[in-house]
Structure 1
Amino acid sequence: MSTAAEANVAEKEISNDGYLHMAQVQTSRKGFCSVRYGLAIILLLCNFTIFAQQMNLSIAMPAMVNNTAPPSHPNASTERPTTDSQDYWIETLKEFKAVAPVYDWSPEIQGIILSSLNYGSFLAPIPTGYMAGIFGARSVVGAGLFISSVLTLFIPLAATTGVTLLIVIRVVQGIAQVMVTTGYYSIWVKWAPPLERSQLTSIAASGAPLGSFIVFAVGGLLCQTIGWPYIFYIFGGIGCVCCLLWFPFVYDDPMNHPFISTDEKEYIVCELTQQDCSPGWSLPIKAMIKSLPLWAILVSHFCQSWPFYIMTAYTPTYINSVLQANLRDSGILSALPFISGFICIILGGLLADFLLSRKILRLITIRKLFTAIGVLLPSVLMVSLYWVRSSVTITVTLLVLSPGFSSLCDSGALINILDIAPQYTGFLKGLSKVFAQIAGAISPTAAGFFISQDAELGWRNIFLLSATINVLGLAFYLIFGQAEIQDWAKEQTVTHF
């Protein structure tokens, strides 16, 4: 009898401990003041730094050259009749010359320089993602952040030395930045519970529009006051400081983090036990090549990146040349679209996880719905820009709304790799970045070519081509996209090359 009584007491204690443990797990699940959300904030700062360093040349370019608007005919003389607008630009350029050097770069050269960040970077994502998946993202991302920040400090000197050196530095810098934007993604394989995946990744990704917003908002003012070189000095220095935060507070696995609580660690591990996230040295290459859901993601990355790189590279130039705004106002106007992207990317992640956790929509429905909205509405707004260019208010409104809607893709196709193949997230994210970087290497160069051929109709052709590519990519994703873990991503021992 006593034995039975003791057993009953033990069962009650176990039951109480179980309820207590479940309560602690629920607290870990709901608490935003946790290590995993702190990690998201640090990654937000890294993305902020990297994208500020990517965009600083875009806002500095109008101040670095003596003319951002091409002649009306490719072979026409650069001497044109003086107008009030031209007089204004001459006076503005005199201000630039007083504080920083000005270079005689044609629109074609400007397009090549802006695109050069992506020329070599399409070679880096696959090995970067693979190494991050095998050895951990901590060292890969930290090294990339440091290299990119140091090279940013040398861009003014490189520009003065010559175009060739500037392009070389931009190519190396692009590779280093890919180490960050590709490598950090694999961290979420072991840190992001499925029901929090969209919001955690969206918080980290929101650093991209935030960095673009800040550099555009203050960049024009810096150019007109202390000179365009200080854009590179300031944001390069910020990047070096961010490197000091990376290694003490970021770890590849919650099991090894020195500051994480036991409850949060157990919660993350329990939530991820149902999926195999252990990367292998071998890759199911043949199965990946035959996987249409994977191709849907890759094609979507390429098509969505095409207009993204054009708008980020040419928004200040468009506002300068078409709307005839001075550089300070151009920087502020160019910054507004990115603040909408910063806000909407976070809200989109929260909404996606809400719809999934309440079982309102299936996961694949959420991915495709968010992608469709993030592609169709920005495409319509982009095409409309050419026909409303006479109105500054309408143009700026369209430019502001477009990134807000586009950011929904971060909770759609852009995160879909974590759904279909968490085991190979690092490698596949690198592969998707290859497609994105190829688009980034081609699109600004093509835009510069269109503008050099015809300053007015060139913008129309740029917008129409970008919208067409974007919509075609959406159609391919809607047909072949999936959200279930693929069979080739479930295998423990996979086939070799």
Structure 2
Amino acid sequence: MELSNDSTIDRIASPELKKGMPMIGVRHLQSLLAFTAIFTGYLLRVNMSVAIVAMVPVVNSTDFYEEHKNHIATFDWTHKTRSYLLSSFFAGYLLGNFPAAILGCYFNNKLLLALSTTITSLLALATPVAVSTYGSPVLFIIRFLQGLAQAFLLPMCHGIMARWVPPNERGRLVGFVMSGIQFGTMITLIGAGYLASTSFGWPSIFYASGAIGLAWTVVWLLLGAESPQTHWFLSQKEANYIQESLQGVSHHGSQADKVTPWKGIFTSLPVWATTAAHVGYNWGFWLLLSEMPTFISTVHGFNLREDGLLSSLPYLAMFLLQLPASYLADFLNKRQCTTLTMSRKIWTTISMWGGAAGLITLGYLDDNATFTIYLYIFVVAIGGTCNLGFNINHMDLSPNYAGLLMGITNTMASTGGLTAPLAVGYIISDPNSVNQWRVVFFLGAGVLFFANLIYLIFGSAKTQSWNSPEKKIVS
């Protein structure tokens, strides 16, 4: 059951309230802080992908001798051990998402986000000494614990932004926040490779990312707030504007004294449609991002992973496309050219059906490495438009439970990072076979196509009736 229609005019504060307000307000500051939270989170997440290459150098290579010359520890882990170490973070992340989202319903989201980043950062700082002393078992435990801690990141950011951002500004502000994923990944791929090549070696990757995480936490505790009602220098005019924009769809009381509408959530077709889109997107694009370097290397003989700048280009393209696309989305909504539901579906379709078309095309590019790389970058870039579609749909459906909804859909979507590589391993017996890679790409395209089809049929941006929470009855 839905509470309201999704015409944008019904969810926009009166123009009089915006008069006299500065162009940049505290809600923009909160968006910047949330963006840097996700940016920092991905520094701490992706750092291992780059560091492990330097931690396990090819014996007798230049890197091997340089690291020993600088008294930097190296390891002779097998490919299987490295795979376990890389997947340990995602195991913790998968297990932690849903519990993190539930805790977000009962405890202060600002403090949970600060605690999450602090724990992840301290573990990063402890990594060099711990792994040099105790080896791979302790590194596995550290990465698993970091995954558990970082499971709070997206649910808390969604919960906080749902209280701060007016519906007609969600595309550009929340889209900007979510682009921290691409920006963080891009900077890590470039910066971590540089740090590993210095005399400080791979330990400096963990020290730098850990220090940045702790610095962000201090700034967040000083300037961040869970909601407009708890911010210490928000003007009354901007507070009134935000409150009127969210009037009737977002409550400002304590989460702990509300009844969580579990039945409403799990019987809501729009929630399941958003979940399907999230699962399909993660599956298709994890396939693309994790397996394309291998395809280009084995089929075209070009090693993307050896060039940090080139490997970061897809993320740079996605980040740069995000900004103009988000302004266009909000402009069309504000002018009532599109309803919120229409807007979410259009941008999700560009992301997912565009990605599906790209994967099918890639299956037939067996003799053109340059065009393959260009197409790869393009497909990854348009994938970022999902941040204007289903990836912010949680806030439309229920501003009061946006963090919980993100925890639910992200838990299910996290399986993509685990199952997509397994599917590739099952299909690919000869990495040089174009026909086998074609099957992989067609499978990914099929997942993207049908996930988006479900979203087109059942998706909605209308606020759900169960968004308005009931008070717990105290006997």
What is the TM-score normalised by the length of structure 2?
0.85
Whichever residue aligns with residue 288 of structure 1, its letter is: I
1:282 aligns with 2:259: yes
Q: Which residue does 2:206 correspond to in 1?
A: 232
SS at match of 1:134: coil
Deviation at 1:381, TM superposition (A): 2.4
**Structure 1 residues 269 and 24, CA gap change in structure 2 (3 angstroms):** closer
Matches within 5 A, 1:347-366: 347-366=324-343
SS at match of 2:30: helix
Q: Which residue does 1:471 correspond to in 2?
A: 449
Q: Which residue does 1:397 correspond to in 2?
A: 374
Moved more, 144-153 or 367-376: 144-153
Q: Which residue does 2:88 correspond to in 1?
A: 116
Matches within 5 A, 1:118-137: 118-137=90-109
Q: Is the 8 A contact 1:420 1:485 kept in 2?
A: yes
Deviations 1:274-298 (A, max 9, x none): 3143555422222322221111111
Structure 2 CA distance, aligned partners of 1:412 and 1:218?
Answer: 30
Q: 2:432 aligns with which of 452, 456, 472?
A: 456
Q: Which residue does 1:443 correspond to in 2?
A: 420
**Structure 1 residues 150 and 385, CA gap change in structure 2 (3 angstroms):** farther
SS at match of 1:33: coil
Identity %: 30
1:295 aligns with 2:265: no
**Structure 1 residues 311 and 46, CA gap change in structure 2 (3 angstroms):** farther
Matches within 5 A, 1:235-254: 235-254=209-228
Q: Is the 8 A contact 1:56 1:215 kept in 2?
A: yes
1:193 aligns with 2:184: no
Q: Is the 8 A contact 2:159 2:403 kept in 1?
A: yes
Whichever residue aligns with residue 19 of structure 2, its letter is: Q
Moved more, 122-131 or 103-112: 103-112
Q: Which residue does 1:338 correspond to in 2?
A: 315
**Structure 1 residues 220 and 450, CA gap change in structure 2 (3 angstroms):** farther
SS at match of 2:27: helix
Structure 2 CA distance, aligned partners of 1:346 and 1:178?
Answer: 26
Deviation at 1:368, TM superposition (A): 0.8
Q: Is the 8 A contact 1:47 1:208 kept in 2?
A: yes
**Structure 1 residues 380 and 220, CA gap change in structure 2 (3 angstroms):** farther
**Structure 1 residues 56 and 463, CA gap change in structure 2 (3 angstroms):** farther
**Structure 1 residues 232 and 461, CA gap change in structure 2 (3 angstroms):** farther
1:270 aligns with 2:247: no
Structure 2 CA distance, aligned partners of 1:410 and 1:183?
Answer: 16
Whichever residue aligns with residue 139 of structure 1, its letter is: L
**Structure 1 residues 66 and 380, CA gap change in structure 2 (3 angstroms):** farther
**Structure 1 residues 308 and 51, CA gap change in structure 2 (3 angstroms):** farther
Q: Which residue does 2:145 correspond to in 1?
A: 172
Whichever residue aligns with residue 266 of structure 2, its letter is: I
Number of equivalenced pairs: 452
SS at match of 2:446: helix
Whichever residue aligns with residue 260 of structure 1, its letter is: L
Moved more, 226-235 or 412-421: 226-235
Q: 2:357 aligns with which of 373, 377, 380?
A: 380
What is the TM-score normalised by the length of structure 1?
0.82
TM-align CA RMSD: 3.0
Q: Which residue does 1:486 correspond to in 2?
A: 464
Whichever residue aligns with residue 215 of structure 1, its letter is: T
Q: Is the 8 A contact 1:96 1:224 kept in 2?
A: no
Structure 1 CA distance, aligned partners of 2:220 and 2:52?
Answer: 31
Structure 1 CA distance, aligned partners of 2:397 and 2:338?
Answer: 18
Question: Which structure has the larger Rg over C-alpha atoms?
Answer: 1
**Structure 1 residues 313 and 485, CA gap change in structure 2 (3 angstroms):** same
**Structure 1 residues 363 and 121, CA gap change in structure 2 (3 angstroms):** same
Deviation at 1:416, TM superposition (A): 0.9
Whichever residue aligns with residue 88 of structure 2, its letter is: S
Deviations 1:312-357 (A, max 9, x none): 5556666666666678852111111111111222222222211111
Deviation at 1:247, TM superposition (A): 0.4
SS at match of 1:260: coil
Deviation at 1:233, TM superposition (A): 2.0
Deviation at 1:142, TM superposition (A): 0.3
Deviation at 1:391, TM superposition (A): 4.0
Moved more, 306-315 or 192-201: 306-315
Q: Is the 8 A contact 2:89 2:146 kept in 1?
A: yes
Q: Is the 8 A contact 2:258 2:471 kept in 1?
A: no
Q: Is the 8 A contact 2:163 2:399 kept in 1?
A: no
Q: Is the 8 A contact 2:31 2:161 kept in 1?
A: no
Q: Is the 8 A contact 1:110 1:448 kept in 2?
A: no
Q: Is the 8 A contact 2:357 2:445 kept in 1?
A: yes
Structure 2 CA distance, aligned partners of 1:325 and 1:223?
Answer: 22
Deviations 1:164-208 (A, max 9, x none): 322221111011111122211101222111111121111111111
Matches within 5 A, 1:78-89: none
Q: Which residue does 1:49 correspond to in 2?
A: 40
**Structure 1 residues 411 and 343, CA gap change in structure 2 (3 angstroms):** same
Q: Is the 8 A contact 2:397 2:467 kept in 1?
A: yes
Structure 2 CA distance, aligned partners of 1:469 and 1:228?
Answer: 37
Deviation at 1:90, TM superposition (A): 5.2
Q: Is the 8 A contact 1:217 1:331 kept in 2?
A: yes
Structure 1 CA distance, aligned partners of 2:79 and 2:364?
Answer: 23
SS at match of 2:234: coil
